[in-house]
Amino acid sequence: MKVAVVGATGLVGTKMLEVLEQRNFPVTALIPVASEKSIGKEIIFKGKKYSIVSMQDAIDAKPAVALFSAGGNTSLEWAPAFEAAGITVIDNSSAWRMDPSKKLVVPEVNAQVLTAADKIIANPNCSTIQMVLVLKPLHNMFTIKRVVVSTYQSVTGTGVKAVNQLMNERKGIQAEMAYKYPIDMNAIPQVDVFLDNGYTKEEMKMVNETRKIIGDDSIQLTATCVRIPTMGGHSESVNIQFEKDFTIDEVKNILSTAPGVVVQDDPATFIYPMPLTAHDKDDTFVGRIRRDDTIPNTMNCWIVSDNLRKGAATNAVQIAEYLVAKKMIG
């Protein structure tokens, strides 16, 4: 199977190549695509060298699937051209997520919405992916009324420039900055741009994408997204109010059997999820599961996942794996 990776030299694109190899996706020919300045450069995949090509060259090569991670503007411009050539696009940007004609997919939650006719499929926001993996099985059982989430997001979510800023600051080097402020020894309560309602674009992504993926517009959700100087993944403090009552044992049992979710919850032995231990893993980890005694039918939990893997690359590859398994591509 011919597979194109668009944005192959970026943080997420590089991780996509890694995940494709690790999960042994049936790639017979890789078509790496990057910006014009990278055309002709070589990357190595499964021990073989591949030259980076242009968008048009990739389309002409007729891959079965193209994994996009090159930004929203690139996706808006080029995904329809791939679609017109009969190529299935799985797009990691925000360009198509809220388009009512496009599916927004976390395979463990709603892969069943996909059909062979879906040629542009949206990969959700990293913060949303890890949260809905925990929310959906609980919603099925207890019906979620309201969610309050605060995120603690890795600099890797911004990209290489932000990682360089953090590392330079730790070495005392003044250089190009991805953020308006220093990130080392700091927490910046802004992820993406501010909107007219006072929330950031990232915060509203979590609201709108969660409803679309779970398929319930009645869920009330409010978010505060914060950038912190970590590398291994995003963390989230989540408060969930249900229509029905529950026991903590019920919640733990449900989440223990939820696909893609690992419960790490034993305060007595200091076991709880952390970015350091979630790094380079495909699972989403949940712990600090406890009742909120101030509101009926409400609980708190702490969710951590590697934002470059399950939050981006792995989720995209899993969508492609589902399409192969259902013979929608191949």
143-171 mean pLDDT:
97
pLDDT, position 330: 83
| Phi, then psi, of 22 in degrees rounded to 5 | -65, -35
Asked if residues 98 and 208 have their Cβ atoms less than 8 Å apart, the reply is yes
**CATH superfamily, region 127-307:** Dihydrodipicolinate Reductase; domain 2 (3.30.360.10)
First to last CA, the chain: 6
Distance separating alpha carbons of residues 71 and 74, to the nearest angstrom: 6
Active site residue 139: no
Q: What is the pLDDT of residues 199-239, one digit of tens each?
A: 999 999 999 999 999 999 999 999 999 999 999 999 999 99
Q: Give me the catalytic one of 139, 225, 234, 301.
A: 234
265-278 mean pLDDT:
98
Domain boundaries, the chain: 2-123+312-325, 127-307
Mark residue 288 as left, alpha or beta (left: phi above 0; alpha: psi -120 to 50; beta: remaining). Answer: left
pLDDT, position 316: 98
Distance separating alpha carbons of residues 225 and 204, to the nearest angstrom: 10
Q: What is the pLDDT of residues 275-298, one digit of tens each?
A: 999 999 999 999 999 999 999 999
The Cβ of residue 121 has, within 10 Å, a number of other Cβ atoms equal to 24
Model confidence at 131, in pLDDT bands (50, 70, 90)? very high
Model confidence at 108, in pLDDT bands (50, 70, 90)? very high
Active site residue 279: no
Packing angle of the helix pair 201-214, 126-142 (nearest 10 deg): 40
* Whether domain 2-123+312-325 has CATH 3.30.450.40: no
Model confidence at 102, in pLDDT bands (50, 70, 90)? very high
Question: Quick one: what percent of the chain has pLDDT higher than 70?
Answer: 100
Q: Assign 123 to helix, strand or coil.
A: coil
Question: Quick one: what percent of the chain has pLDDT higher than 90?
Answer: 99
Asked if residues 180 and 158 have their Cβ atoms less than 8 Å apart, the reply is no
Distance separating alpha carbons of residues 299 and 146, to the nearest angstrom: 11
Q: Is the pTM of this model over 0.85?
A: yes
DSSP codes joined into one string, 152-183: EE-GGGT-HHHHHHHHHHHTT-----SSSS--
Q: Assign 247 to helix, strand or coil.
A: coil
Q: What is the pLDDT of residues 306-329, one digit of tens each?
A: 999 999 999 999 999 999 999 999
pLDDT, position 192: 97
- Give me the sheet containing 298-305, strands edge to edge: 220-227, 144-153, 234-242, 298-305, 284-291, 261-263
